[in-house]
Structure 1
Amino acid sequence: METRVEEDFDVLATRFRPELLAHCYRMLGSVHDAEDVVQETFLRALRFHEAFEGRASMRTWLYRIATNACLTALNSRGRQPLPVGLGGPGEHHVVTWLEPLPDAMISPGDPATIVIDRASIRLAFIAALQHLPAQQRAVLILRDVLRWRAAEVAETLGTTTTAVNSALRRARARLDEVAPDQDKITEPTAAAQRELLARYATAFERKDMTAIAELLSGDAIWEMPPTTLWFQGPYDIVRHLAGSCPAGPGDLRLVATHANGQPAFATYLPSGGHHVLATLQVLTLTTAGISHIVAFSAPEILTTFAAPVGVTFP
């Protein structure tokens, strides 16, 4: 009988893992922490499966376990921002950085077609969530992303509907202060996106600073955790790239991928006769051009994307 229960939970793990991972990632801002909490969620569900009385769906029950596990995890550490969320350029902080989420982890069948709402996993939204206290963050995600009723959220968090509604108002107000206005962000058509990305990859590989600048919006931001420095505007961005990128024209290689429901590039630098994975660039595209580029370089982030570490390009 115990074996049958374990087999049933293996099926549940396969079915619900991608969406629970996305949920925990929204809460925690870390893929690695989210994976740990999802694993803990299924272990708790297996351990206490007899307590599940069918008053809610299995999916809702698992979300409740995962949410409370995330709240426990958040009590032991601070928020995970991006550099622009820390203050002015050049200010130094001891930070546990926000991590990107590979699309393949939440849409394993076809990473290019995410079954989870893209807006709810975009880097800008996840970064904005880091400004909310843990309880407010949970309330906002459960109410505005998952569309739970206030009573369901109250039961999950062990509080009242009045407290839930109050927390939701405060969370929404705070997001309005720190998050970009999604209604003002107009993405290019699919064809225009493909052209823009192709031109960007070509310009980057050729180290053509003029071409890169032409592809950026006027208020474009470049940031590169774990470095606290960040740059805004095409002029400052390309001046930084021209002076800091060690690759010459024709040396760098960009390989397309997806993260947070956004286009991304794994970038490779030449080293010892082959190319070494150096950064993961996650891009935000608008009709005005590329408005935001986050270039992640921490090794633990690069390995999450399962990109080959050292490769030889033709």
Structure 2
Amino acid sequence: MELDAHRTELTVHCYRMTGSFQDTEDLVQETLLRAWNARDRYDPTRASVRTWLYRIATNACLTALDGRARRPLPSGLGAPGDDPGAPLAPATDVPWLQPFPDGRYDVDARTELRLAWVAAVQLLPARQRAVLILRDVLAFTAAEVAEQLDTTVAAVNSALQRARSTAATVAAGSADTLREPDDLRQRAAVDRYLAAFEAADVPALVGLLAEDAVLEMPPVALWFRGPEAYGAFMERMFRLRGTGWLTRPARANGQPAFAAYAREGGQHRLHSLQVLNLADGRITRNTVFTDPATLRAFDLPETIR
């Protein structure tokens, strides 16, 4: 029985369920171990290996999520900040949503992996989240999902209806972050943004922003909306950390991203991973991750000389 061939898709599934890449790796290992130990009890007349593995993985995720708080982004916790000079104290008590390192897996860029989508489904109760992902993303039938979750088809359909309603309400407020932008236009906008960032050219950065662009920086709960606040914060950041930054392209959640390196003596040290959303050739959101554990997941060099 070939189990490891399903590792990548199970990894993506567990990430969608939990919003935590660190938890995901452990859950996939647990899923494959459970499957191996139960291989003699697998009945191919009842389900394919893939369906059977998704049942094990989904229930492992539901157990892991029991009693845990959802993983948000700062923009999901309250109103935007109005003081770009406010203290940048990390909220270490919040289990923040983590990005997914595309480069470690052969994963297609899909809307259902984007940060905005994963953050939206985190609002759902865990079983509704599972039903939505299994039905609408993975296209399992209602009967298959009922079998996977040990419930009835009627209960699956009811949970799916509630989950779709909640997800649609959330998406209505951020539809631009869920669209697939034109690749050429996207690449050109990203290239211009990186050039402006390395030059510490705040007016050029602001000129690339959408009218309601968001800047957020977990684990700092503070976030900003609009080019004026975004630009004011970037001016503060360049004053504090200096200019002469370097960037390296990256990918996260099927989205363009980049690693930012701040000048430190005779070298540049890794500062952050920044994940961009775009629509109509403009930056609609920049989610800046600085947590060391998150950065390690992307296998980025610590310094560049």
Q: TM-score, normalised by structure 2?
A: 0.92
SS at match of 1:179: helix
User: How far apart, in 2, do the equivalents of 1:60 and 1:185 lie?
Assistant: 28
Contact 2:186-2:281 at 8 Å conserved across structures? no
Partner of 1:166 in structure 2?
158
Tell me, what secondary structure is at the counterpart of 1:132?
coil
Matched residue type, 1:99: Q
Q: How does 1:123-134 map to 2 (within 5 A)?
A: 123-134=115-126
Listed as ranges, the matches of 1:27-176 within 5 Å are 27-54=17-44, 55-89=46-80, 94-107=93-106, 114-115=107-108, 118-176=110-168
Residue matched to 1:276: 269
The answer as to 2:279 corresponding to 1:289 is: no
- For 1:248, the equivalent position in structure 2 comes to 242
Q: Would you say the 8 A contact 2:211–2:226 is kept in 1?
A: yes
Runs of 4+ in 1 over 6 A off after TM superposition: none
Residues matched between the structures, number: 294
Question: More displaced, 39-48 or 173-182?
Answer: 173-182
Contact 1:19 1:106 in 2 (8 A): no
Cα RMSD, aligned residues only = 1.8
Give distance in 1, aligned partners of 2:73 and 2:159.
24
Higher RCO (CA < 8 A, seq sep 6+): 2
Q: 1:264 aligns with which of 251, 257, 261?
A: 257
Task: Tell me how far apart the structure 1 counterparts of residues 150 and 300 of structure 2 sit (CA, whole Å).
Answer: 42
In structure 2, give the amino acid aligned to 1:95.
V
Deviation at 1:105, TM superposition (A): 2.8
> Per the alignment, do residues 196 and 235 of structure 1 end up closer, same or farther by CA in structure 2, a change over 3 Å counting?
same
TM-score for the superposition, normalised by structure 1: 0.89
Give the conservation status (yes or no) of the 8 Å contact 1:201–1:254.
yes
Report deviation, 1:88: 1.7
* Superposed CA offset, 1:167-224 (max 9, x none): 1111111112222464885544222222111110110011101000010000100000
SS of the residue 1:155 aligns to: helix
Extract unaligned runs of 5+ from structure 1: 1-7, 108-113
Q: CA deviation at 1:77?
A: 1.6
* Residue 179 (str. 1) matches residue 178 (str. 2): no
**CA 1:79–1:197 in structure 2 vs 1: closer, same or farther (change >3 Å)?**
same
Unaligned runs of 5+ in 2: 82-88
Shift of 1:106: 2.8
- Identity over aligned residues, as a percent? 50
